[in-house]
Amino acid sequence: MTPRAITGLGICSAVGIGREAFFRALEKPVLLKDAPHRPIASFDASKFEDAAVAEVPDFDPTKYLGDKGLRTLDRLTKLLVVATRLAAHDAGLKRDGAFVPPASPTNVGIVCSNAYGSLEAITEMNRVAVLEDARYINPAKFPNTVANSASGYASIWEELRALNVAVSDGNCGALDAVGCADVHLASARAQSLLVGGAEAASAALFLAFHRLGMLEAGAMLGEGAAMLALETPEFARRRGAKVLGQVLGFGTAFDAPDHDRQMIFASQDAMRRAIRTCLDDAGVNADEIDLVASGISGLRPFDMAELAAIHEVVGDRVCVAMPKGLVGETLGAGGAMALACVVGWLGGIAPSAIIAGEAPGRVRTALVTTMGYYGNASAVLVRAV
């Protein structure tokens, strides 16, 4: 791909809201497993024993969005709108809520991944329909059930009119969003795109992971939204933007399991092909990679397949980090959370949550990898400027 400049970061995560707070947390990293247990605040967890979720703590959207117009929005939307607003401002596309020329509503857009939609909204509507009457469904909240609702609201709140693309590819979605953004920047549909992903904690999501035994297996569910401003280096230069790093390549692959009945599948082959395609796309050799920010989450078969593919293609001495150890499994936002960590590490913060290899003295070239639950895998290559 043509290099894309990363000019800003907006983030709502378990360890901080906004780039500065997030980077401060990266400087003093605490693994979730060592962090004090916090009671769940975003949903009623009283029916779950010892429930733990890496929530965005004390999330108060009114601090960023004011207190008007929030009443019918769900948590997913509020997390995303805040992250998007912060990213646009961090990138200097906006100042005090207004676009700074040459950035304008018609040349800035959004590409956003989300894996499971607003389960909060869907389950609430289903509860009303079953326990009361479908005639009592709140029409002002019904739009939240639609999968692109959060990104649609982000366009409304932030006047992002160039284009709005919602992406879904499970845990790989946020890296796929980078691949989509590259195509849309190439076609000049937008000059700058806010790109990333969002996922919100909810009782339904927690229950699903709990029932599938994925929490006991080690994955700590997280939530949040992470958005990066991506643009052509020319546009970044033209508007005098600071450049935090460059995206150089993207790769994705799918591989089906052999067994007919099998659905959930950790594919080492797909991961290997995604990384190779990404390196080809970037024109970068495997030995140039200083660090891999992996999607490793504590689910053993997935972790082993991902690590094996990384070792196979990048070499078995490469430093592999596990951003999910810091911010939790944020699913559709996962790749963007890892990119956020990488941006910090490229900027000189010492890498943390390392699970294999030795931390390099300096991170200049980093690979971000993610594995989906169904045989899908994606990778993005980022380099310091």
Partner 1 sequence: MHRVFITGVGVVSSIGLGKKEFFRALEHGESGISQVESFDPSALGRDVAGEIKGFRPEDHLTSAELKRAGRCSAMSLAAMRMAIRDAGIDEALLRGPKTSVVLGTTMGEADVIADLDHAWIAGGQTAVRRTLLPKYGSTLLPIHLARAIGAQGMVLTLPAACAAGNYAIGFAADLIRSGRADVVIAGAAELLQELQFSGFVRLAAMAPQRCQPFDLNRQGLILGEGAGLLVLESEAHAVRRNASVQAEVGGYGLTCDGYHITRPHPEAMGSIAAMRQALEHSGIGPDQVDFVNAHGTGTRANDQAEAKVIRDVFGGRRIPISSVKSMIGHCMGAASALEAVSCVMTLETGIYPPTIAYETPDPECDVDVVANVARRGKADVVVNNSLAFGGYNAVACFAKPGVLPHPASLPPRELAAQAH
Q: Which of residues 227-256 bind partner 1 (CB under 8 A)?
A: 252-256
Q: Residue 137 has which token pair?
A: 């469904």
Cβ neighbours of residue 352 under 8 Å, at least 6 residues apart? 26, 29, 321, 326
Angle ∠(182,12,310) on CA atoms, nearest 5: 55
- Please report whether residue 189 would count as binding partner 1 according to CB under 8 A: yes
Does 138 sit near partner 1 (CB under 8 A)? Answer: yes
Applying CB under 8 A, among 102, 129, 132, 362 the residue interacting with partner 1 is 129
User: Where on the phi/psi map is residue 309: left (φ > 0), alpha (ψ -120 to 50), or beta?
Assistant: alpha
Q: Does 122 bind partner 1 (CB under 8 A)?
A: yes
* Tokens, residue 18: 């906004």
Q: What is the dihedral of CA 129, 133, 138, 143, to 10 degrees?
A: 30
Residue 167 as a binder of partner 1 (CB under 8 A): the answer is yes
* Using rule CB under 8 A, residue 82 touches partner 1: no
Residues from 253 through 312 that contact partner 1 (CB under 8 A): 253-256, 260-261, 263-264, 270, 273, 277
Least CB distance to partner 1 at residue 375 (A):
7
Report the C-alpha gap between 76 and 349 in whole angstroms. Answer: 29
The single-letter code of the amino acid at 159 is E
Count the neighbouring beta carbons within 10 Å of the beta carbon of residue 140: 10
Least gap, CB of 23 to partner 1 (angstroms): 30
The span of 134-142, 304-312, 322-330, 360-368 binding partner 1 (CB under 8 A) equals 134-142
Number of residues that bind partner 1 (CB under 8 A): 82
Q: Phi-psi bin for 86: left (phi > 0), alpha (psi -120 to 50), beta?
A: alpha
The span of 15-23, 87-95, 111-119, 222-230 binding partner 1 (CB under 8 A) equals 111-119
Q: Is residue 145 close enough to count as binding partner 1 by CB under 8 A?
A: yes
**Tokens encoding 83:** 């992250």
Site string for partner 1, 193-232 (x = CB under 8 A): -----------x--xx-xxx--------------------
Region of 341 (left: φ > 0; alpha: ψ -120 to 50; beta: rest) is alpha
Q: Is 70 in the site for partner 1 (CB under 8 A)?
A: no
Return the number of the residue (149 or 246) whose C-beta is nearest partner 1: 149
Nearer to partner 1, 20 or 234 (CB): 234
Candidate list 106, 284, 312, 359; residue touching partner 1; CB under 8 A: 106
Residue span 168-187 as binding mask against partner 1, x where in contact by CB under 8 A, dash where not: xxx--x--x--xx--xx-xx
How far is residue 244 CA from its own chain's centroid?
A: 17
